[in-house]
């Protein structure tokens, strides 16, 4: 859709959404993506209008959050929003969940090998935040260099963008959430639904596949998705009954 732009350059997809009075940046996963965002905004008048900027992520994984503090260096007034479950990690009430070893070796490599950026340069990595790493020795690294301005509940609207709602979809991780815009029938699906094969599939690299299936059933029964913006793989746009073709392992 015209106002939702896919920004590449990281390990995951980042989306720039231009709403009437707000810019929303979803899943800013690397400093490289931040550079791309800056380029896009300096080419347009959006940056000069000084509308609020909201940075939001579909879940607390490094490939979806590593660019946030670098982005804040460029937009210090931007507001950061997370789904409330992330707070449990930051307060160390809960450890970051780790997908099974089988999942790491079997289900992750096919996704990453499809990304454009396999080995980022050292300079780039220096600017990236090293938090949200689902590995045994690194899962406790959760300290953020910035403040979280908004903690959102399931069903809450995104601050300054009343058309977009946060929908809790645990499974890939307990804090996974999708972003839904009813007026555009658009779903930003994070790592819950990815798209490696063209029609979308439930992510097999996950902490709890059963929960992910439940979350998917909820999405399917409540929302008429015609535009899908996955965390990995290409968006699917203007397609009726899109979720009925998403591949699910029985």
Binding region for Zn ion (CB under 5 A): 12, 61, 63, 191, 231
Read off the DSSP letter of residue 195.
B
Decide if 162 contacts 117 (C-beta within 8 A): no
CB of 109 to Zn ion, least distance (A): 13
CB of 191 to Zn ion, least distance (A): 4
Nearer to Zn ion, 69 or 176 (CB): 176
Tell me the H-state helices in the chain.
Answer: 31-42, 62-65, 68-74, 86-90, 101-106, 109-112, 122-127, 209-222
Nearer to Zn ion, 100 or 224 (CB): 100
CB of 52 to Zn ion, least distance (A): 26
Phi, psi (5° rounding) for residue 30? -160, 160
Task: Count other C-beta atoms under 10 Å from residue 18's C-beta.
Answer: 17
Nearer to Zn ion, 150 or 172 (CB): 172
CB of 47 to Zn ion, least distance (A): 27
Residue 110's nearest CA partner among 201, 246, 30 is: 201
Nearer to Zn ion, 12 or 168 (CB): 12
């Amino acid at each position: 859709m015209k106002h939702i732009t896919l920004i590449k350059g990281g390990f995951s997809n980042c989306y720039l959404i231009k709403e009437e009075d707000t810019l929303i940046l979803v899943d800013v996963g690397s400093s490289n993506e931040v550079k791309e965002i800056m380029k896009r905004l300096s080419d347009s008048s959006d940056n000069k209008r000084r509308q609020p900027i909201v940075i939001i992520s579909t879940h607390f994984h490094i490939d979806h959050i590593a660019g946030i503090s670098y982005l804040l260096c460029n937009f210090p007034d931007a507001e950061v929003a997370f789904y409330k479950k992330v707070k449990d990690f930051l307060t160390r009430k809960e450890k970051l969940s780790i997908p099974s070893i089988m999942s790491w070796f079997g289900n992750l490599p096919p996704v990453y090998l499809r990304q454009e950026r396999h080995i980022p340069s050292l300079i780039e990595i220096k600017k990236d935040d090293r938090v949200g790493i689902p590995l045994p020795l690194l899962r406790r690294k959760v300290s953020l260099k910035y403040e979280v301005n908004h903690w959102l509940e399931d069903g809450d609207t995104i601050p300054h963008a009343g058309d977009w709602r946060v929908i809790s979809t645990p499974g890939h991780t307990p804090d996974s959430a999708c972003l839904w815009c009813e007026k555009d029938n658009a779903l930003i699906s994070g790592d819950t639904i990815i798209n490696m094969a063209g029609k979308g599939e439930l992510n097999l690299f996950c902490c709890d596949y059963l929960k992910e299936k439940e979350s998917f059933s909820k999405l399917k029964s409540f929302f008429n998705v015609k535009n899908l913006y996955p965390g990995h793989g290409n968006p699917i746009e203007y397609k009726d009954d899109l979720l009925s073709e998403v591949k699910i392992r029985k």
